[in-house]
Amino acid sequence: MNNITRALIRIASLCLAIVLFSPPLALAANRTLALFPLAIYAKEPKDYLRKGLKAMFVSRLSDGSLEVVTDEKFRSLLENEEIQGKLSSQRIKEIAKELQVDYAVYGSVTAIGAGYSLDLTLLDLTKTPAKKHRVSRAMSEDQFIPDIAKVAERFRAIIEGRTISAEHQPLPHGQAGESQRTSGPFVRLDQGAGYAPQTESGLFREAPRPRGFQPSGMVPLHMTVVSFDAGDLTGDGRTNLVAISRSEMRIYEEGGQTYRTRDRLKAAMGEDFLKVSIGDVDGNGKAEIYLVSFYGGRAKTTAFEWDGKFRRLFRKAGHLHVVRGFKGSGPLLLYQDSRIGKLFWGGISVMDYAGKNNLQVVRHLPKLKDARFYTIMAYDINKDGSHEFIGLGDGNVLTMWDNGGKVLWSDNKGIGGTNNSLRVGDFPMPEYNPWVYINSRMVRADIDGDGKKELIAVKNIGLSEHMETLNVYTESQLVAYSFEGAALKRGWDTRKIPYCVVDIQVRGKTLFIAGQKGRLSKVGKGYSRIMWFDLGTQQ
């Protein structure tokens, strides 16, 4: 019996103890609540975790005035994977309506490293339209039971119409409590065998020692996210998250403890969204959105502003992508053309957008041999005020080019990989065209508190490293490098993340990660999440 199994048996036992010894609270009115089976995402079977959670919620929520209806009573209404908790919000509403209940609770639990991530929704069907109350928490194993109790209490408070006390609220990102502060979970590999970190929690680890993977917060996405970015769309100083699937773009706004959905944009018929980036290129204090889609056999970019609603600025054939500049410079807007049968075509240029459809070429970049367009970032290596470039080259190998296109340095093994891919080519039958992969951007952040920024890149891990066609990525690691003159030195990585990471971004001292659950089947909306880690609490 391994440690994970022992931990889950202990959790189930604790849940049973709470069922037996926790006194119920009183509600003011007779109502009913449907408790749907929770989806459990983990490498090993965890049916007893699902049963323990069910028992705990029944104990905490039910009494003589609130009847909790569990899935045993409506199993005949569930189909296939729905019995394992994998239901769409529409199906939840349909079943709840048939059961004639007042509330429904549904969601998922994901095992992440040595901890857990909980994403639950209380659907209030007494409101018209029905109102959703979402709770997302990341917790360590020893906090699992107390945090579940807090979630149950939160749901009771909502049903009773009570105000939720501040001590039960999760901390917003960027504001760590004293118990969260550490001397730094980011450990350099060259500090020697005698170095011992004071904590085993955090995102990055010193290989080969296992370290924790516990986000500061997260937003669940009931869609298959393929790209993501973060920035200020309205100029109010708050962070907006922009995430896309193949068919939809969503805007999230920072609000108190988490992010809430503010707007959605659907793809046109025959259009697939590919990539999104945001940045204040025109300098008006509000970031534009550059949405790249595949339509008519080629890539096209549509630029938007968003101030509560989308306003289209312009559309241009090819790829436009915002790259954060080095210190003292603004964002760079890179461009590469696209032709039918060739997703990426021709050279790369730096563009300037001055508003009112005024899009102009500033300069052409040197030829960066085999560079993956969306991984390119600018960096002033020799501190002369001009750009050198870093990105993934042939074989997804991390490469550094000077401002003349000469390779200054390249790694000896590949990273990258992504589930954001599509077939593009000249064959009339799409299934014979090659796969084209659209990798995550790379970012820079100070992960060890020394005042110097390291480079962070994504390494996704596929079901097979040698598949000749499409490789499905189900896990990932983040890899961090220090700058050593005109070279990079790999110094950190994370433990495995149970998602394919499709994009990352840094805003202030917060590292954002967008990940999707890798799957062979494309049926259904899929499941993804945006997670964030507060780097500032390590410094």
- pLDDT value of residue 176: 37
* Residue 401 near residue 387, CB atoms below 8 Å: no
- Residues whose CB is less than 8 angstroms from the CB of residue 529 and which lie 6 or more positions away in sequence, other chains included: 117, 119, 218, 219, 220, 221, 499, 514, 515
Q: Angle 144-160/3-21 helices, nearest 10 degrees? A: 40
Can you give the pTM of this predicted structure? 0.69
d(CA 324, CA 456): 14
What one-character-per-residue DSSP string does 433-489 give? SPEEE-PPP-EEE-SSSSS-PEEEEEEEEES-TT-SSPPPEEEEEEEEEEE-SSSEE
pLDDT by residue for the chain (539 residues), tens only, comes to 444 445 455 555 555 554 444 444 444 448 999 999 998 877 666 677 788 888 889 888 887 778 999 999 999 999 888 998 888 888 999 999 999 999 999 988 877 655 677 888 899 999 998 998 888 777 766 677 788 888 888 898 888 887 654 333 333 344 333 333 322 334 455 543 333 333 333 566 544 443 445 678 888 888 999 999 999 999 998 899 999 999 999 999 987 667 889 999 999 999 999 999 999 999 999 999 999 999 999 999 999 999 999 999 999 999 999 998 665 567 999 999 999 999 999 999 999 998 777 899 999 999 999 999 999 998 888 777 778 899 999 999 999 999 899 999 999 889 999 999 998 987 767 777 788 999 999 999 988 878 889 999 999 998 755 444 556 898 899 999 999 888 999 988 887 888 999 999 999 888 999 999 876 555 456 789 999 888 864 43
d(CA 116, CA 50): 13
Residue 196 is given by DSSP the state -
CATH no., domain 217-534: 2.120.10.10
In CATH terms, are 31-160 and 217-534 the same topology?
no
Sequence spans of domains, the chain: 31-160, 217-534
Q: Output the six-digit token pair for 310.
A: 């989308």
- pLDDT value of residue 170: 39
- pLDDT value of residue 456: 94
d(CA 333, CA 353): 8
d(CA 78, CA 462): 32
- pLDDT value of residue 10: 56
CATH second-level architecture of 31-160? 3-Layer(aba) Sandwich (3.40)
Q: Output the six-digit token pair for 452.
A: 């110097």
- Residues whose CB is less than 8 angstroms from the CB of residue 228 and which lie 6 or more positions away in sequence, other chains included: 241, 242, 243, 244, 276, 502, 503, 505, 512, 514, 530
- pLDDT value of residue 508: 86
- Residues whose CB is less than 8 angstroms from the CB of residue 246 and which lie 6 or more positions away in sequence, other chains included: 224, 226, 267, 272, 273
What's the N-to-C CA distance of the chain in angstroms?
Answer: 39
Q: Output the six-digit token pair for 330.
A: 């603004």
Q: Output the six-digit token pair for 110.
A: 């994901």
Name 445's bridge partners. 454
- pLDDT value of residue 381: 80
* Residue 326 near residue 379, CB atoms below 8 Å: yes
Give the strands of the sheet with 204-205, arranged side by side: 204-205, 488-494, 473-483, 454-462, 443-445
* Residue 506 near residue 444, CB atoms below 8 Å: yes
